[in-house]
Amino acid sequence: MKDLKIGDRVLTYDLSGKGATAEEITNFLHKETNIYSKFLRIKTTENTVLEISEEHILYTEQTQIGNKELIAAKYLVAFRHKILVFQ
């Protein structure tokens, strides 16, 4: 991640149903390579472990009401939010 720069192309998921596509990086929400950041370790129900910054944006679904939303990792609530992963 530290080597990525504006103009590079990365694989993303198109939510309109087109699947995986290569997109150009146009900006960074946060990219501070010279400071310490708090990271979270999140274990999924399939025992996958994610290590991400508190500010990392995740696509989630609220399990009780089904609303899909983008939220920062620090706001995840166990068993309330389901992280949506596209492969």
pTM of the model: 0.55
Report the distance separating Cα 62 and Cα 3, nearest Å. Answer: 34
Question: Which of 69-74's residues contact partners 24+ apart within 8 Å by CB, and which partners?
Answer: 73/40, 73/42, 74/40
Q: Give the strand pairing for 57-62 and 68-72.
A: antiparallel
**How large is the average pLDDT for residues 5-32?**
79
User: Is residue 77 assigned to a domain?
Assistant: yes
Cα–Cα distance between 6 and 69 in angstroms, integer? 26
CA 69 to chain centre: 11
**Number of domains the chain contains:** 1
What pLDDT score does 67 carry? 76
Residue 3 lies in a domain: no
Q: What is the pLDDT of residues 46-79, one digit of tens each?
A: 888 888 888 888 888 876 676 788 888 899 887 7
Q: Determine, yes or no, domain membership for 54.
A: yes
Instruction: Kindly state whether residue 70 falls inside one of the protein's structural domains.
Output: yes
Q: Is residue 2 part of a domain?
A: no
49 lies in some domain: yes
Domain span at 16:
9-83
